[in-house]
Structure 1
Amino acid sequence: MLKTALARRFGLLGVSLATLALSPGVRAEDANNQIKTASPIKHVIIIVGENRSFDHLFATYVPKSREERVLNLLSEHIVKADGTPDEKFDRAHQFQVTSAPNGASFFISAGSANKSLYSKLPAPDLGGVQAPTGLPILSIPGGDPGLPAADQFLFGTGGTGLPVSVGPDTRITNVNNLPPGPFQLTGPTMPYDAYTADTIHQFFQMYQQMDCAIDKEHVSRGNPTGCLHDLQSFVTTTYSTAPGGTPHDTGQTMAFFNMQKNDVPYLKFLADEYTMSDNYHQPVMGGTGPDSVPLGFADQVFFSDGNGHAVTPPASSIYNPDPLPNTLNQYTVRKQWFNCSDQTQHGIKPILDYLGKLPYPVQTKCDPGAYYNAVNVNPAWTPQGTPSGAGSIPPVTMTSIGDLLSAKHIPWKYYGGAYNVSGTGAPLDGIYCNICNPFEYQVNYPAMRADHMRDVTDLFNDLKNGTLPAVSYAKPDGAMDGHPASSKFDLFEEFTKNIIQLAQSNKEQWESTAIFVTVDEGGGFYDSGFIQPVDFFGTGPRIPMIAVSPFSRGGHITHVYGEHSSFVKFVERNWYLGKLSERSRDNLPNPRAEDENPYVPVNMPAIGDLFDMFDFDRGHDHDRDGGGDRH
């Protein structure tokens, strides 16, 4: 890779990139180095795990440097270093709604007249997790190629050891008598290396969990958008439990790991050594599919005719979150699509009313007649480039960051775990994440495959061989992505560690490489951070983001507001690409914030471009635009 000096402009060489890359004696590495960039970074990788909020992982993290500050449960005095409640535990109190705040219609907030404090947290659930001796992946010959041989044993540890898979998770200390707020998940009988229950994390449910309103009960100087995060357990429990049934999907949304007790050790190490953000968010309310799409589009996909025109999906697939009669939160119809341009559609008006009262103008980005997905919906194409068939999202003609890179002959690849075996019927078939790959929604995906779609095992080889493209996405398969129930977070940590160590082993390449480590979304887990709505879809709660690079050393913590569209902005800025569309979030300005509250941009809506996570030499071309660069 490049030394820290910026390479001379490729255009001065008088040959095309393709010619240079194929010329005898010229490495692909050298070809990448000739592409003009706004920073010394010539290679960027984003590693995307699954379903963990910032406070869920970093609740008790303490910065290595005394000059740094972090906003988490410990610094807010919500919990102590030992994981027990602190003096301001009431800031994270959880409430139950006792009477319908919005009549027979969907609601996203409740006032004191409509809710009461839980006497104790609904007992966290096993949620179907059993696996007394680990998951069946152990029986796969050779294990999972996404991890080194030394780590394969992790797939066979962490089972519950319990004879049941429903009801309270008795591995959790004091599970039936937890106070109504955050609790430490790990303890004497619950190791960090454990499979634990999932929890609800979809669009309408998450809006309710956040309890956002513009009124005197919700808004404060430090929280001008009025999101209290205090209906987490109420929503999961009442949505998932049939009237009169055994409570299900209950208090696990309030769980957190404790870094003071050696939980999440590798991400703690990365935060200590490199740059972390404590103000990076999932881009939208909801789950994996809608939250992965912005990594490619800085926008949301919609139901179309396959030629770029919005059309109405079948009536049987339209979502209706209004509660059933005699319930508070049993949704009438849980399906795929909603039309947020029409406030007469079920569930839409409460969100539009809230956005209209914000102290800054927000464009909803709800195109007339367009239907957007409320849940995970399969993309247009299979990984093999064949049509996904009925029920999938029709191909979209939206421009992706991949399109912009290809137009300038800048190499890029999406590396997905188990991509090579997907659709083959072989072991590990079925755990490639199709909804995680934003490019599979595009009409031109089949033509992209040959040059741009790879397995993560190919990433390992490219790291070793110095053939890493300029821009890389790395997505682990479902067994090691850290998703609750189906995976565990130490597996994702080992996956991440493997990639970073391989990258660092190629010293020349490493000198101009940056690796972003994040997850797709918070998984419904509690987070205490500020939320900035930038359109109808979000943003949502905070999630982890760490930048690992020779240019991000030192344990710095940045507070610039970001989300997955920030990665798109970083790539656009670093490789001089321009914008994706007139409506995409990459058009939003970089945030400006005041010292007394660095988490709330004064120029909302605003999204950063991640340049603030690096400390580049002043002599380089930074293409400065007020983005909060570290200097």
Structure 2
Amino acid sequence: MQKQKIALARRFGLLGVSLAALALSQGVRAEDGSQNGADRIKTASPIKHVIIIIGENRSFDHLFATYMPKSRDERVLNLLSEHIVKADGTPDENFDRAHQFQVTSAPNGGKYFISAGSANKSLYSTLPAPDLGGVKNSPAAGILGLPGGDPGLPAADQFLFGTGGTGLPNSVGPDIRITNVNTLPPGPFQLTGPTMPYDAYTADTIHQFFQMYQQVDCAIDKEHVTRRNPTGCLHDLQSFVTTTYSTAPGGTPHDTGQTMAFFNMQQGDIPFLKSLADEYTMSDNYHQPVLGGTGPDSVALGFADQVFFGDGHGNATTPPASSIYNPDPLPNTLNQYTSRKQWFNCSDPTQPGIKPILDYLGKLPYTVQTKCDPGHYYNAVNIKPAWTPQGTPSPAGAIPPVTMASIGDLLSAKNIPWKYYGGSYNVSGTGTPLDGIYCNICNPFEYQLNYPAMRADHMRDVTDLFNDLKNGTLPAVSYAKPDGAMDGHPASSKFDLFEAFARNIIELAQGNKEQWESTAIFVTVDEGGGFYDSGFIQPVDFFGTGPRIPMIAVSPFSRGGHITHVYGEHSSFVKFVERNWYLGKLSARSRDNLPNPRADDDNAYVPVNMPAIGDLFDMFDFDKDHDRDDGRNFR
């Protein structure tokens, strides 16, 4: 996905488009009014409309490292509260809790490993220098030359596409905008400083399945496990993995210490999300659903499960042997993967990379069903979905269509209106300058066999969302995904662009006062992007969960600056929709079957009934009985 997004700069250079053609390609569809009945549908809460806004690739500590709750009655788990860093971003007394290590000898007999003990690793003397990773000028600056710019942002925010370039003559090597870039201590560091503003393009870092399993360094032994951390994930191999999985001996790694970067809210970074956290409810225990990237993590928002390779009619088949992933290290290397491909069969412990994960899951202090169906191959990396946005078959190499039920299917079966609003959907496939920045791997419904039939009623551009918000024609359930220029993804976007996108939607929603009184907006990201996070990780199956990511609920029913500690992930959104609209479950194996977490008074972050995933009702205060499983029947 990173290569696709960095191509933005080249696409935006093609500005020979007439105003009339651009207006036609980005025109807003007329609505049929079918969603007007959303307010009359029975719900388990006063919420009649829910929107989830999904940005890209930022962990919780990466954004909220120094956040302090507005109320003294609230607490947050982050680098500041754990005394890992101080409010000024410098190391604090517990900085060693976030120390990063390099593996010095093979922990698993020369095979892929997911953990390392003290005998196999040593502390970095300094963090591998964070690099530029190919970032130089503003990759989306060409948007400023288009008539009207990108319609996914208001005119007042269009200037953001042209700011944030490095100002450096080079795009490789250490990012010298970072203070003391070559002598950073081996742990988290503040990204921003005198020469690195918040409004800056910075490098991406690796965020794929096998790499992330290694980065979090999980094991069930006395070196890893504590009462606060019963699953034994130390998060201490972040930089080691980024510098070894793809680098030949003696080679120069290009994806290094940036995984440990964090922003500093105490110094004005992330201002809009900070304001939302101050005023509404935030979770500091919400996680990316799987260990991996955008595609697998976005799929969970629709299925609470993972898709697989099949015949296009719901039956599992075996992909070509040349596409099977092999993370075992090459001969004479410690961690240079043999073959970074697409698929893995986690039901077979003899397959490369599988046994170490199965062994770890089998030792957990609770029982985990792997959800690795026999003979099924699941994707380790981002792979295009079965269909193009226009409903035509994707080119060869895409994930064949699946017949799994999605949350969209359950909603449609009960005639409950829903829509997926994707940035630049209207221009996708038109050949115009903004073509190519719609995120196809982000739309879970494009993986379904019945996607072409869904399009007319359920697929829209974000510009249509803006109109539905203004006109009071919002469906019951909405997904809002910005395009690749404004989704906040490192290297191809900036987080202030995503903040501007989210702010526009929230302000439009609040501007329609009658509709707003029954609306809730969730603000989150797809996954953590490989950035460090210090939070507890609860495996619920072979695929995850993974590190924490931000989640804020914005609603008249979530005011007050509360911070919830209930364990959640993207399947929690599916559970919320199911519970609020009385839908039932997706399948016998999907994660929406997991119970809501029960907390220990001494440790709110670790459910006592693992595996367990919340349904997000804890983020609202409807009435004193709002947490009952059956809810109340609001009409």
* TM-score range for the pair, normalised by the shorter chain length: over 0.9
Per the alignment, residue 531 of structure 1 pairs with 537
DSSP-derived class of the 2:133 partner: coil
How far did 1:245 drift?
A: 1.9
Picking from 208, 229, 239, the partner of 2:245 is 239
- Confirm or deny: 8 A CA contact 1:29 1:466 kept in the other structure: no
DSSP-derived class of the 1:150 partner: helix
Per the alignment, residue 385 of structure 2 pairs with 379
From the superposition, tell whether residues 561 and 132 of structure 1 become closer, same or farther in structure 2 (CA, over 3 Å): closer
Identity %: 88
Picking from 583, 594, 597, the partner of 2:589 is 583
- Confirm or deny: 8 A CA contact 2:90 2:190 kept in the other structure: yes
Q: Distance in 2 between matches of 1:312 and 1:97?
A: 34
Matches within 5 A, 1:157-168: 157-168=163-174
How far did 1:87 drift?
A: 0.2
Picking from 506, 517, 523, the partner of 1:511 is 517
- Confirm or deny: 8 A CA contact 1:133 1:161 kept in the other structure: no
DSSP-derived class of the 1:293 partner: helix
Matched, 1:265 2:265: no
Matches within 5 A, 1:447-526: 447-526=453-532
For structure 1, list consecutive stretches of 5 or more residues without a partner in the other structure.
1-25
How far did 1:243 drift?
A: 2.0
From the superposition, tell whether residues 512 and 28 of structure 1 become closer, same or farther in structure 2 (CA, over 3 Å): farther
TM-superposition CA deviations, 1:369-422 (whole Å, max 9, x none): 000000000000000000003100000000000000000000000000000000
Per the alignment, residue 629 of structure 2 pairs with 625
Q: Distance in 2 between matches of 1:55 and 1:481?
A: 18
Per the alignment, residue 27 of structure 2 pairs with none
Q: Distance in 2 between matches of 1:136 and 1:194?
A: 17
Per the alignment, residue 323 of structure 1 pairs with 329
Matched, 1:549 2:558: no
From the superposition, tell whether residues 385 and 133 of structure 1 become closer, same or farther in structure 2 (CA, over 3 Å): closer
- Confirm or deny: 8 A CA contact 1:98 1:114 kept in the other structure: yes
DSSP-derived class of the 2:573 partner: helix
Q: Distance in 1 between matches of 2:560 and 2:34?
A: 31
Per the alignment, residue 21 of structure 1 pairs with none
Picking from 538, 560, 565, the partner of 2:566 is 560
Q: Distance in 2 between matches of 1:374 and 1:368?
A: 17
Matched, 1:141 2:147: yes
- Confirm or deny: 8 A CA contact 1:133 1:158 kept in the other structure: no
How far did 1:133 drift?
A: 8.7
| Stretch moving more, 129-138 or 233-242 | 129-138
Per the alignment, residue 5 of structure 1 pairs with none
Amino acid at match of 1:190: M
Amino acid at match of 1:582: A
Q: With the length of structure 2 as denominator, give the TM-score of the two structures.
A: 0.93
Amino acid at match of 1:210: V
Picking from 292, 302, 312, the partner of 1:296 is 302
Picking from 196, 202, 216, the partner of 1:190 is 196
How far did 1:618 drift?
A: 4.2
Q: Distance in 2 between matches of 1:122 and 1:626?
A: 52
DSSP-derived class of the 1:238 partner: coil
TM-superposition CA deviations, 1:529-553 (whole Å, max 9, x none): 0000000000000000000000000
Q: Distance in 2 between matches of 1:33 and 1:623?
A: 22
Q: With the length of structure 1 as denominator, give the TM-score of the two structures.
A: 0.94
From the superposition, tell whether residues 38 and 497 of structure 1 become closer, same or farther in structure 2 (CA, over 3 Å): same
TM-superposition CA deviations, 1:545-583 (whole Å, max 9, x none): 000000000000000000000000000000000000000
DSSP-derived class of the 2:351 partner: coil
How far did 1:292 drift?
A: 0.2
DSSP-derived class of the 1:177 partner: coil
Per the alignment, residue 220 of structure 2 pairs with 214
From the superposition, tell whether residues 459 and 109 of structure 1 become closer, same or farther in structure 2 (CA, over 3 Å): same
Picking from 114, 120, 131, the partner of 2:126 is 120
Per the alignment, residue 95 of structure 2 pairs with 89
Query: What root-mean-square deviation, in Å, do the aligned CA atoms of Structure 1 and Structure 2 show?
Result: 1.3
DSSP-derived class of the 1:435 partner: coil
Picking from 566, 577, 581, the partner of 1:571 is 577
Per the alignment, residue 429 of structure 1 pairs with 435
For structure 2, list consecutive stretches of 5 or more residues without a partner in the other structure.
1-31
- Confirm or deny: 8 A CA contact 1:416 1:454 kept in the other structure: yes
DSSP-derived class of the 1:332 partner: strand
Amino acid at match of 1:233: S
Amino acid at match of 2:410: L
Matched, 1:253 2:259: yes
Q: Distance in 1 between matches of 2:318 and 2:597?
A: 36
- Confirm or deny: 8 A CA contact 1:530 1:599 kept in the other structure: yes
DSSP-derived class of the 2:212 partner: helix
How far did 1:28 drift?
A: 5.6
TM-superposition CA deviations, 1:64-110 (whole Å, max 9, x none): 00000000000000000000000000000000000010122100000
Q: Distance in 1 between matches of 2:331 and 2:541?
A: 31
Q: Distance in 1 between matches of 2:395 and 2:178?
A: 43
Q: Distance in 2 between matches of 1:192 and 1:99?
A: 39
- Confirm or deny: 8 A CA contact 2:138 2:161 kept in the other structure: no
DSSP-derived class of the 1:204 partner: helix
From the superposition, tell whether residues 132 and 417 of structure 1 become closer, same or farther in structure 2 (CA, over 3 Å): closer
Matched, 1:445 2:451: yes
How far did 1:248 drift?
A: 1.4
Per the alignment, residue 170 of structure 1 pairs with 176
TM-superposition CA deviations, 1:236-278 (whole Å, max 9, x none): 0112433212231000000000000000000000000000000
DSSP-derived class of the 1:434 partner: coil
Matched, 1:49 2:47: no
Per the alignment, residue 99 of structure 1 pairs with 105
Q: Distance in 2 between matches of 1:577 and 1:133?
A: 43
- Confirm or deny: 8 A CA contact 2:617 2:627 kept in the other structure: no
Matches within 5 A, 1:364-375: 364-375=370-381
Q: Distance in 1 between matches of 2:610 and 2:572?
A: 15
Per the alignment, residue 305 of structure 1 pairs with 311
Picking from 199, 202, 209, the partner of 1:203 is 209
